[in-house]
Structure 1
Amino acid sequence: MYWQVCPFEHLTREQLYRLLALRCQIFVVEQACAYQDLDGLDMLPEVRHVMAWEEERLQASGRILGPGVLKDDLIWIGRVAVAPKVRGKGVARQLMQKAMSVAMAEWPGYSLRLSAQVYVRDFYRSLGFAPIGDEYLEDGIPHQDMEFSCNE
């Protein structure tokens, strides 16, 4: 498995297709959420896509929204997707560690935030994220915002 981290403009057409296909497979089909995945953020210059490839197959992906995309003082990690075939093999942990490392290297000193599905909240806790605020429904799925403070 090899890792790729890049802005939108460095993705080939095939890579972009596989990225969007994985996100659709997980978020739209598997989780039965009809939502607008193409939200206009993927193409922004302050966004990085983190992807794990095995040969030509995309196994996992995530998106880092740099400061100013959603909030001036925060970096958001989202669209975390892991192919069913590689779940339970540590790929999600590797993906998050890679995303966190990239975010802290590119934008040092900013806190990291994510919107966690409640059923995987303990996974994010194990990476150092702490719940903030109340649980809420997003697309019919319980979520909770979580934050990793880079200043600790």
Structure 2
Amino acid sequence: MANRIAWHCHGFDGFTPLALYQVLQLRDQVFVVEQQSIYGDVDGVDTHCLHLSGRDEAGNLVAYARLIAPGEKYPDAAAIGRVVVAPEARGRSMGKALMAQAVAQCQIHFAGQPIMLSAQCEASGLYESFGFKPVSEPYDDGGILHVDMRREG
């Protein structure tokens, strides 16, 4: 399935109203409802970052991440956040495909910069496979254990 995904990376102004709605709906469906993590998803960061989305051949949103420029969240590193795969697209290496695209887009847009992310502890192995290393102790974020991870530029 990952081979037939159309990837798009754009700024906030590149969203159509429907595409923005679909992204917010997917993030809500997975992070708030499925994972029962109560937090402010609409946090003001979306308007200042790049948005990476993967859509299947039918145009359905199946994967998403936001890419944050150095200085916006971390003073010396870019960041990847809101990494999410739609439930119906799981089990097909979609998370790996999404992370490969996210790292590649960071390398294009933020060349040579380290990349940070806040990983759910249970997914840290995926991020380690892309060169991320833990740089914090585990901590609670919205009721789910996370660890900060960093990949050098």
TM-score bin (small chain) = over 0.9
Matched residues in 2 for 1:77 and 1:111: separation?
Answer: 11
After TM superposition, the runs of 4+ consecutive aligned structure 1 residues lying more than 4 A away are none
Matched residues in 1 for 2:71 and 2:134: separation?
Answer: 22
Matched, 1:50 2:52: yes
Unaligned runs of 5+ in 2: none
SS of the aligned residue for 1:29 comes to helix
Matched residues in 2 for 1:116 and 1:49: separation?
Answer: 18
Residue of 72, 77, 92 corresponding to 2:75? 72
Shift in Å at residue 127 of structure 1? 1.3
Q: Give the percent of matched residue pairs that are identical in Structure 1 and Structure 2.
A: 36
Matched, 1:31 2:35: yes
SS of the aligned residue for 2:44 comes to coil
SS of the aligned residue for 1:23 comes to helix
Matched residues in 2 for 1:68 and 1:120: separation?
Answer: 25
How many pairs are equivalent?
148
Matched residues in 1 for 2:46 and 2:70: separation?
Answer: 14
Shift in Å at residue 71 of structure 1? 2.2
Amino acid at match of 1:129: F
Shift in Å at residue 56 of structure 1? 2.6
Task: Summarize the alignment of residues 133-152 of structure 1 with structure 2, pairs less than 5 Å apart.
Answer: 133-150=136-153
> Normalised by the size of structure 2, how large is the TM-score?
0.94
- RMSD between aligned alpha carbons? 0.8
Residue of 10, 22, 25 corresponding to 1:6? 10
Structure 2 partner of 1:98 = 101
> Normalised by the size of structure 1, how large is the TM-score?
0.94
Structure 2 partner of 1:22 = 26
Structure 2 partner of 1:83 = 86
Matched residues in 2 for 1:52 and 1:124: separation?
Answer: 18
Matched residues in 2 for 1:81 and 1:149: separation?
Answer: 23
Unaligned runs of 5+ in 1: none
